[in-house]
Structure 1
Amino acid sequence: MPAMPSGAATVHEPAARRRSASSLRRPILGVVLTAALLASAPPGDASADPVRPAADTMSSRADILRSGKDRTLVRTTLGPIVGRDEGRSNGTYSWLGIPYAEPPVGDLRWRPPKPHRPWTGVRPAQRYGSGCAQPGRFFSPSPNGPFYDLAVRDGLRQPVGAEDCLTLNVFRPATSRRDLPVVFFVHGGSNVVGYSADPMYDGRELANRAQAVVVTANYRVGVFGWLDAEGLGGGDPLSASGNFGTLDLVEALRFVDRNAEKFGGDSDNISVMGQSAGAVNVWSLLVSPLARGMVDKAIPLSGGLSTRSVADARAYAGRVLRAVRSEHPAPDLSDIALLRSLPADDLVRVLVKHQLDATPAVIADGTVIPSDPYGVLASGVGRDVPVLAGNTLEEGKLFGSAIGAHKPTDYDRFTMQYLFDPERPGTLTTSDLLNDEYLPVDRPGGWNDAAAALTESVFTGINRNSLDALASSGNRSLYHYRFDWNQQPAPFDEVYGAVHAIDLPFVFRTFDRNVFSYAFSRQNRPGRLRLSDLMIASIRNFVHEGSPQHRGLGRTWDRWPTSLILDADDRNVHLGSTTDR
């Protein structure tokens, strides 16, 4: 096995030193941010404790430090870590649960992330960190920890995750190659739920096949990530912004920028990728002055530039406070002291009870996020950033509950999908999953039409607006795909089809147990694997060269406003194009 390209033998100068003093990687507001910030088990193994160890439990591992023989030993800017060597079985090295910021608990709740204090001993990085505190939904972690299992259904509408959650994970090929492109992935979940340990985001296959360093990060979500309450800032514009989840991502991205070379990556070639709310956050990072210069390429999937006003955020914070006081009267405490005094689980319970868990995010506060983000985008910010965006054809079919289309409760629907065997579909029918008013699905006004309206209003419209704004600035490196694959066994081909997020298992090549396991059968395996190979090859070329074009496509991937259609039957890939506006 080749030696691991870690920081064990060579100390590299920070990436920022390789850039001129006028580099955009040193934005004006960066001084403000810096001042404010200064004041793990293998994937899917639910039997092991996933929570990262405290600093005082770290092994000294002096023998490893002296010998440098552990291929996964990396000396980060915060301290040395040892990860997992899966070179023989999987062809990758991985580091899980790396803390990039102090736990945002106590007085650090609703404050900008504070860089994690350095450690001296070798820190094990072999277990995923906890998902962030959130109300349980389909894409939340299990109550048992950062796992996907049947217990996820038992956490629906219950507090799951933990506030001590600001960790990230790194995956790279088990080779000695250096200067690999970096893919920084931001999970979705409406900016309310989600976690980096979701098995769909396992970065090993993508890292190996794309020959890239893949990073997946946790960030504060829901009310912990976005809250603009009166008096919260205390004179600090970053705290007053309410954009704590965005600030977490900026800090995680800064850690990646500073440490990319330690993992064999190129800090001058960081592609920020995200899906759904993660894509919203990608666009937010693109316009935020705090992340300026750290986004070299962007891959926003199923999401566009979307913000909420300060007035909306303030009104929401007022409703939260009134709900909290109704459940936890505390006349001797100020509003902020009361909010900070509640355990995270109690706060989540209040929000769920009062139907306040859908947090306004991202907030156009004028400091972290510009007051006119579309104006900033059109003005030329991001003109030189290549963008590979995507949508699925039937995004809206994931959100039938919002319009009363899904017949079972979320608890029962999760159970049906989790237990469904795609090799033995049984007797489950479309009418078991959809209410009669939406049947048959292809009639005028039926499920297909209703879902198409959701797709346009929530996803494709805003994605179109975002790409058009960037195109108007002079960006000529814009690409878009439409994902049409719908080869699931019946009845899921009709109920979900090319649904929101189903392209992610193709992007990461994660077809094992996850929320879409019902879709992947032996019958459709040849076609979907070929489609996955083609998509990863396009991502590989994009992160290396700035274009998704590669010989395997057998055709030209035209620039936006043309979209490449990605599809496959049970055996073969089918490509097309559209300029539908």
Structure 2
Amino acid sequence: MTKKHWLTCSMAAFALLLPSCSSASDTDTAYVPAPETLTEIEQGQVTGVRDDEIGVVGWFGIPFAEPPVGELRWRAPRPAAPLTEALSATEPTKACLQINSPQILPGEEGELVGDEDCLYLNIWAPAAKADAPRPVMVWVHGGGNATGFAGQSDFGRLAAREGVIVVALNYRLGPMGWFSHEALRQTAETELDRSMNFGLLDLIEGLKWVNVNVSNFGGDPERITLFGESAGGFNTAALMMSPLTEGLFDGAIIQSAGFSTYTLEEAETGPKTENDRRGASSSEALVLLREKGEIASNIPDNGATLAKLLRGLRASAIFDAYLGLTESDVTEGQIGNIDSTADGVVLPFPELDNAGNDLRIASRDIPLIIGTNRDETRVYALENPAFTNKYLGVFFQPKDRDAYIASGEYPSRLWASLGVHKIAEIRSQKLTAPTYTYRFDWDEQGKYMFTDFSLLIGAMHSIDVNFLSGDFRLAWLDDKMFFKPATESSRRALSHDMMAFWGAFARSLPGGELKGVTVADWPAWSEGQKTLVLDTKADGGIRTESLRDTPEQIIAEFVSDPRFLNDKQRCEIAGVMKLIAQSQSYPTDRFDELADQFCEA
């Protein structure tokens, strides 16, 4: 399993519950068509919807680029064509091609869903008119760059409560969004076509659209915050490193993500050794396509003939090839493709030294919020027999409570150390724009039947998105499994506090000095290396703490921690820590040494 794909809604059985995996058909808002929302955009006119209870209007499914199909497959996105008539923008579930889990989109588990024609965006705006242009927040969804869509989270409450315009962008996923081959470069029509980061180029095109059009929706193009969680955060970080985005956004928020990229060699031909493998390369996929007869044996490995054939292949054949190369569970939607790559175009770093990415992130002098959840990785141990027993095929019980908690503690702390505190320190030394760090701690799920969710998952990866959106519905399952009536008041209070901080940041641009947040003071990292902890009053409330760890400290404590019952448990967690190190562009030698120490040959 590859680094980013593991850091998504593919983790164990509770992938079905993750908030960033809300069903396309689930909504607790009551949007109705609203002809009075008729708005002029560069392409023509659009009408949207409204929700009077929340006090928000929306426009869902606006095209921001030409459909990337046929000859435009694996090319940079082209600007959207003019509309021939007013567009009824009421469909929030347009999605790019992906292997489905039913909690994400309607359809059977494991089938190919979505469409290649998928470059659409959604907009939420307060219904009340404002005297001045409103700050703009552009959301990049998560899902391992293999699943998800712009309408997966409903940001109507954030828009209405904080007086901001929220825009969510689709982008090509999986091998449709990231694919590298010489034949495609040879047939490039523009310099950007020579890229292989087509998903990132989609986001760039979306940002260009926002800069041109958002003022028509009441937004201020001089105050644009790019924010994303998980893979969306990885993509936000990548766009901060790209010279192509200069001037397109004014601040960024990176939630539970990292900064690593692939080399072009990895993306195109594979890793130098299997121990270095982080994903399936395009050349390996082409070998399988030839074996399956999708590409004739007499077609050369480069040139216009192969490029034309690739652009004409059935999309299902391409996805099937990647599925044949990965050990990932098809039901999780993760297919093991390589994504953000130093391709010399979007990320122009020849012979990229991955360890330099944290320095490159400091080259963009804009305000930044960056953080993680306290228990990002605890769910890894859920279905791991080294840590849990499974009853009746459904219920999980830790073999030892303390060992189970320790299993998630060390990788999660390492994630914060490398992916948050290290970045904040580098930026505070090199830049003038402020960096703010946070940790999200909510873990009050409690028990449901025989399962203690507070213990099993805690403040897990992506649960913060529920609080940022204010939408506490769960796909498929009873909402009360996680979000019980008894916690409604405290959850809403924490959700409102989180929105207040994010909204204040958006309003603070371009300077980024947080003012007027009545919840609590949040000093920049340069003012004492303090991290904002987001939690309910019952668990200590909103506060700032000194949380910085070094990797050396974390490893030393891990090795000597008596809570682990045996070396098998330490071996398992050493492997998770290596994945975290890879995701943060940190050398993995020390974690290989831990594997040698604790894992059986």
What TM-score do you get using the length of structure 2 for normalisation? 0.74
Partner of 2:66: 102
Alignment partner of 2:91 out of 120, 127, 148: 127
Q: For the Cα contact (< 8 Å) 1:383–1:475, is it kept in 2?
A: no
Tell me how far 1:473 sits from its aligned partner.
2.1
Cross-structure match for 2:463: 502
Q: Which moved more, 1:267-276 or 1:456-465?
A: 456-465
Alpha-carbon distance in structure 2 between the residues aligned to 1:233 and 1:524: 54
Shift of 1:364: 1.0
Which residue does the alignment assign to 1:326? 291
Residue equivalent to 1:91 = 55
Alignment of 1:202-217 (within 5 A): 202-217=154-169
Q: Name the amino acid aligned to 2:536.
A: A
1:564 is matched with 532
| 1:168 aligned to which of 121, 135, 147 | 121
Aligned partner of 2:424 among 451, 462, 467: 467
Shift of 1:502: 0.4
Match of 2:37 among 72, 90, 102: 72
Amino acid at match of 2:264: V
SS of 2:485's equivalent?
A: coil
1:242 corresponds to which of 187, 192, 196: 196
* 1:393 CA displacement: 0.4
Offset at 1:79? Answer: 1.1
**Cα pair 1:192 1:221 within 8 Å, conserved:** yes
Cα distance between partner residues in 2 of 1:515 and 1:541: 34
Cα deviation digits, residues 130-149 of structure 1 (max 9, x gap)? 21101224874232xxxxxx
CA contact (8 A) 1:528 1:571 kept: no
1:471 CA drift (Å): 2.7
Bigger CA drift: 249-258 or 561-570?
561-570
Report the Cα offset of residue 433 of structure 1: 4.6
**CA distance in 2 between partners of 1:72 and 1:433 (Å):** 48
Q: In structure 1, how many angstroms separate the alpha carbons of the residues matched to 2:183 and 2:385?
A: 39
Matching of residue 388 in structure 1 with residue 353 in structure 2? no
Aligned residue number for residue 365 of structure 1 = 343
Judged with a 3 Å threshold, the aligned counterparts in structure 2 of structure 1 residues 79 and 302 are, in CA distance, closer, same or farther, namely same
Pick from 389, 392, 400 the counterpart of residue 440 of structure 1.
400
Match of 1:538 among 494, 498, 501: 501
Query: 2:26 and 2:382 mapped to 1: Cα distance?
Result: 33
| Cα displacement string for residues 289-341 of structure 1 (whole angstroms, at most 9, x for unaligned residues) | 11111120101101122211111101211111112222234325454344323
Does residue 230 of structure 2 align to residue 230 of structure 1?
A: no
Return closer, same or farther for 1:129/1:555 CA change in 2, 3 Å cut-off. closer
Q: Tell me the secondary structure at the aligned position of residue 312 of structure 1.
A: helix
Amino acid at match of 1:182: V
Unaligned 5+ runs, structure 1: 1-42, 49-68, 144-153, 409-427
Q: Which has the higher contact order (CA 8 A, sep 6+)?
A: 2
Q: 1:348 Cα shift? A: 1.7
340-349 vs 532-541, which moves further: 340-349
Contact 1:97 1:167 in 2 (8 A): yes
Distance 1:164 1:454 in 2: 38
Q: Which residue is equivalent to 2:586?
A: none
User: Partners in 1 of 2:96 and 2:385 — Cα distance?
Assistant: 29
Q: Deviations over 1:514-533 (max 9, x none)?
A: 48943111011111111111
**In 2, are the aligned partners of 1:91 and 1:173 still within 8 Å (CA)?**
yes
- Asked if 2 retains the 8 angstrom alpha-carbon contact of 1:95 and 1:169, the reply is yes
- What CA distance in whole angstroms lies between the structure 2 residues aligned with 1:573 and 1:380? 31
Query: After superposition, where does 1:75-474 map in structure 2 within 5 Å?
Result: 75-86=40-51, 88-137=52-101, 140-143=104-107, 154-155=108-109, 157-177=110-130, 178-198=132-152, 201-234=153-186, 235=188, 236-315=190-269, 316-331=281-296, 333=299, 334-355=305-326, 357-371=335-349, 378=359, 383-400=364-381, 432-434=394-396, 439-443=399-403, 447-456=404-413, 460-474=417-431
The amino acid of 2:46's aligned partner reads I
- How far the C-alpha of 1:432 sits from its partner, in A, is 4.7
Partner SS, residue 252 of structure 1: helix
Distance 1:472 1:137 in 2: 44
> Is the Cα contact below 8 Å between 2:242 and 2:347 reproduced in 1?
yes
Give a deviation string over 1:342-388, Cα, whole Å, max 9, x none: 22223223322331722222111122113158758747965531111
SS of the equivalent of 2:203 reads helix
Runs of 5+ unmatched residues, structure 2: 1-21, 28-33, 270-280, 300-304, 328-334, 550-601
**1:421 matched to which residue of 2?**
none
Contact 1:98 1:169 in 2 (8 A): yes
Cα distance in 1 between the residues matched to 2:370 and 2:443: 20
User: How many residue pairs align between the two structures?
Assistant: 482
- 1:535 is paired with a residue whose SS is helix
Match of 2:599 in 1: none
- Is the Cα contact below 8 Å between 1:158 and 1:349 reproduced in 2? no
Q: Distance in 2 between matches of 1:129 and 1:137?
A: 14
- The letter of the residue matching 1:222 is G
Change in CA separation of 1:404 and 1:221 when aligned onto 2, cut-off 3 Å:
farther
Alignment of 1:484-523 (within 5 A): 484-490=441-447, 491-514=452-475, 517=479, 518-523=481-486
Higher mean C-alpha deviation, range 522-531 or range 256-265? 522-531
Q: What letter matches 1:439 in structure 2? A: K
Aligned to 2:574: none
* Alpha-carbon spacing, 1:165–1:559, altered in 2? closer, same or farther (3 Å): same
Distance change >3 Å, CA 515–CA 544, structure 1 → 2: farther
| Counterparts in 2 of 1:222 and 1:463: CA distance versus 1, 3 Å | farther
Q: Measure the CA separation in 2 of the matches of 1:303 and 1:508.
A: 18
Could you say which residue in structure 1 is the equivalent of 2:543?
575
2:267 and 2:382 map into 1 onto residues whose CA distance is 25
Output the CA distance in 2 between the equivalents of 1:194 and 1:248. Answer: 15
Distance 1:274 1:138, change over 3 A: farther
Distance 2:420 2:102 in 1: 24
User: C-alpha distance in 1, partners of 2:73/2:401?
Assistant: 46
Q: Following TM superposition, by how much is the alpha carbon of 1:95 offset from its aligned partner in structure 2, in angstroms? A: 0.0
Code of the aligned partner of 1:440:
D
- 8 Å CA contact 1:273–1:298 kept in 2: the answer is yes
Aligned residue for 2:535, secondary structure, equals: strand
Distance of 2:359 and 2:442 partners within structure 1: 33
Counterpart of 1:230, as a letter, is E
Percentage of matched positions with identical amino acids: 29
How far residue 112 of structure 1 moved from its aligned partner, in angstroms, is 0.5
Q: CA deviation at 1:460?
A: 5.0
Q: Please tell me the residue identity of whatever aligns with 2:377.
A: G
Task: Compute the displacement of 1:159 (Å).
Answer: 1.4
Contact in 2 for aligned 1:80/1:120 (Cα 8 Å): no
Moved more, 555-564 or 251-260: 555-564
Residues 528 and 355 of structure 1: CA distance in aligned 2, closer, same or farther (over 3 Å): same
| Counterpart-to-counterpart distance in 1, 2:237 and 2:394 | 38
| Structure 2 residue identity aligned to 1:216 | A
Q: Which amino acid aligns with 2:310?
A: L
Residue 519 of structure 2: aligned partner? 553
C-alpha deviation, 1:462, in angstroms: 2.9
C-alpha contact (below 8 Å) 1:377/1:470 kept by paired residues: no
Letter of the aligned partner of 2:196 in structure 1? G
Contact 2:41/2:216, CA 8 A, preserved across alignment: yes
